[in-house]
Amino acid sequence: MYLEKITTAQEAWKQRHAQEIARAEAASVACEDGIPVKVLYTPADAPADFDREVGFPGDFPFTRGNDATGYRKKLWTVSHYAGFGSPTETNTLFRRMIDHGGVPPYMALDLPTQLGLDPDHPLACGEVGMAGTSVASLRDWETIFEGIKLEDTFVGTVINAPAAVFLAMHVVLAEKQGADLRKIRGNLQNDILKEFTARGNFIFPVAPSIRLVTDTLEYCARHLPAYWPLNVCGGHYPEAGANRVHEVAFAFADAFTYIDDALRRGVAIDSFGKGIFFLMKTNHTDLLEEVAKFRAMRKIWAMRIRDRYGAKDEETMKCRVLAHSGGSLLTRERPELNIARTTLACVAGVLGGIELIGLRTMDEVFGIPAEKSELIAIGTQHVVAHETGLPHVVDPLGGSYLVEALTAEFERKVLEELERIERIGGMIAAIESGYVRKAIAQDAYATHLAWENGAKVKVGVNKYRIEENEPPRQPYAYKPEEEARQIAAVKQLRRERDNDAVERALARLVDCARRPASSESNLMAPIIEAVRAYATVGEICGALRQVFGEYAEPTAF
């Protein structure tokens, strides 16, 4: 009766303002996911079943937040993606970041490291330290964290194909520091599936790559319960061009693939599910749709993890998110406006109730950011945390007719896309068939067409341009001599270490890799042994290449 009364009143309102509403509706508006945005929302647009569809914060299905009291319990973690070219410089940066508000390091690594190549490999020439820190061995890891207690510091590592090697380095260094491994916090990105479609930093074929992910999940479930070994990266899909629906659906499909493999191994969902979290973007240009995205993600994840995978622990059912801005959000034109963009991205994440937020800097588009820019990005989060009042209320937009309607519609579209992927045969089949890349390409085309025809505005790019005659910006100045230093350091390491111990450890790793994937042939133990002997990243990945080979990207689908 109440909704009928609202609907009748709305029809009367439309009649009173018919011409004005008709003009507004003629200029149709839709968010980038294709969801039409109406001129007005009323209670008739919000879900009728509050308990089932929305509920309360801290209660299943967690639409309104994972914790009952939200940020009053604990503010989101202020995270920041950073890493200078050399381990020594990165140590200095991380210590300053920790001093400026306890910000945990979220480490950027250079391209050779991400591809499992040592600094002196011919293919690494000219790339050492260019896009992040160069890490060749445990010795570099020791340098990066000199003076930093791992038991007290959350350490995030953006590494995928060689992720197991970096987990091993973290474990060995923690042991050397006398830390309790059960208290070690941090995360690996470790999401290899998105590399095959949205990023490209793969090494091994798909099956052994997933085996390595499962090995890390199983190892952490047994030895590092506070560590998050899998950061599923929906955020890389929009960087490649995908819209929000595909961002979330592809991320969830990746996560379900890893879960299925771990369950086949016999690892219980409640023993590793809490170590999965999501890296998403707050890049998209519609702030309220971003809020709806995060709310819908929590509900979809909770329902699937409980109903399909049989989780009993509510902590396993909670969808934890690190959202970051950057990449395609930022512009080289009028780069100071990037501070405004990242501020709004932070606000979107806070209104969406996420656990970790990382902001890019205004000058990231020019190269590795300057330290001052890094500290501005950190300070921006502190302003949002302490000068807006947003953390005072859990899910402050809950009950908004628009946000509730968008949340429900976004959920419907993501579930529809997940069903489509399942009909194809799962995410691996969707990748191999070319479906994922085709969907991303179509989304990217639609977005760029909207920029070109002015349907979407990018301030300073396709509207409100200002021709500036500023000198080229100089962010962090890469030092070419650092490459020579890293090459010299890895050669010195090979002279000083026990090379017989390294050869024995690598031989055991090869032997283990040749055995079928199982708990008994989990690769973490031999990788840890090799790391402890100061085998390099390139040597360990090279040993695995002997067994697994390398992934050859298809030339056409």
How far is C-alpha 129 from the chain's CA centre?
22
Mean pLDDT of 159-180: 97
**With bands split at pLDDT 50, 70 and 90, how would you rate the model's confidence at 14?**
confident
Mean pLDDT of 89-94: 85
Mean pLDDT of 10-24: 87
pLDDT of the residue at 358: 83
The string of pLDDT tens digits covering residues 305-346 is 999 999 999 999 999 998 888 777 788 888 888 898 999 999
pLDDT of the residue at 154: 86
Residue 38 has pLDDT above 60, yes or no: yes
pTM for the predicted model, two decimal places: 0.91
Task: Tell me how far apart the alpha carbons of residues 57 and 55 are, in angstroms, rounded to a whole number.
Answer: 7
Q: Are 426 and 257 in contact (CB under 8 A)?
A: yes
How far is C-alpha 95 from the chain's CA centre?
23
CB-neighbour burial class of residue 334 (10 A; exposed 0-12, middle 13-18, buried 19+)? middle
pLDDT of the residue at 494: 97
pLDDT of the residue at 472: 56
- Among left, alpha and beta (phi > 0; psi -120 to 50; other), residue 146 is beta
Mean pLDDT of 453-461: 81
Amino acid, single-letter form, for residue 288: L
Percent of the chain beyond pLDDT 70?
A: 93
Amino acid, single-letter form, for residue 172: V
How far is C-alpha 355 from the chain's CA centre?
12
What is the C-alpha radius of gyration for the chain, rounded to an integer number of angstroms? Answer: 24
pLDDT of the residue at 556: 56
Rounded to 10 deg, the angle between the 244-265 and 287-307 helix axes is: 20
Cis peptide leading into residue 471 (ω within 30°) = no
Mean pLDDT of 362-391: 85
Mean pLDDT of 429-451: 90
Mean pLDDT of 449-478: 74
SS3 assignment, position 323: strand
Beta bridge partners, 153, equal none
Q: Are 523 and 215 in contact (CB under 8 A)?
A: yes
User: Where do the domains of the chain lie, and which CATH numbers do they carry?
Assistant: 68-435 (3.20.20.240), 480-548 (no CATH)
Percent of the chain beyond pLDDT 90?
A: 62
Token pair in block for residue 130: 């260019």
Q: Are 522 and 218 in contact (CB under 8 A)?
A: yes
pLDDT of the residue at 470: 61
The string of pLDDT tens digits covering residues 340-364 is 899 999 999 999 999 988 888 888 7
Task: Tell me how far apart the alpha carbons of residues 26 and 45 are, in angstroms, rounded to a whole number.
Answer: 21
DSSP conformation letters of 500-530 = HHHHHHHHHHHHHHHSPSSSTT-THHHHHHH
Q: Are 439 and 242 in contact (CB under 8 A)?
A: yes
Mean pLDDT of 370-377: 81
Could you identify the residue written with the tokens 């509920």? 55
Token pair in block for residue 382: 């502190």
Residues 6+ apart with CB under 8 A from 526: 505, 508, 509, 512
pLDDT of the residue at 474: 58
Mean pLDDT of 194-200: 92
Mean pLDDT of 395-415: 94
Task: Tell me how far apart the alpha carbons of residues 210 and 204 are, in angstroms, rounded to a whole number.
Answer: 9
Beta bridge partners, 280, equal 323
pLDDT of the residue at 22: 85
Q: Tell me the range of 122-126, 153-157, 209-213, 232-236 where mean pLDDT is highest.
A: 209-213
Token pair in block for residue 528: 């840890």
pLDDT of the residue at 18: 86
Of 47-56, 152-161, 187-196, 442-451, the range with the lowest mean pLDDT is: 47-56
**With bands split at pLDDT 50, 70 and 90, how would you rate the model's confidence at 119?**
very high
Residue 79 has pLDDT above 80, yes or no: no
Question: What's the whole-number average pLDDT of the chain?
Answer: 90
DSSP-derived letter for residue 201 is: -
**With bands split at pLDDT 50, 70 and 90, how would you rate the model's confidence at 135?**
very high
Task: Tell me how far apart the alpha carbons of residues 557 and 554 are, in angstroms, rounded to a whole number.
Answer: 7
Task: Tell me how far apart the alpha carbons of residues 234 and 552 are, in angstroms, rounded to a whole number.
Answer: 23
Query: Between vectors from CA 163 to CA 424 and to CA 201, what angle results, nearest 5°?
Result: 60
pLDDT of the residue at 32: 65
Using H for helix, E for strand and C for coil, what is the string for 419-449?
HHHHHHCCHHHHHHCCHHHHHHHHHHHHHHH
How far is C-alpha 342 from the chain's CA centre?
16
The string of pLDDT tens digits covering residues 481-509 is 888 999 999 999 999 999 999 999 999 99
Mean pLDDT of 504-517: 98
Of 81-90, 383-392, 410-419, 447-456, the range with the lowest mean pLDDT is: 81-90
Residue 284 has pLDDT above 80, yes or no: no
Mean pLDDT of 102-120: 86
Residue 557 has pLDDT above 60, yes or no: no
SS3 assignment, position 180: coil
**Beta strands across the sheet bearing 155-157:** 227-228, 186-188, 155-157, 105-107, 77-82, 356-358, 321-324, 276-281, 230-233
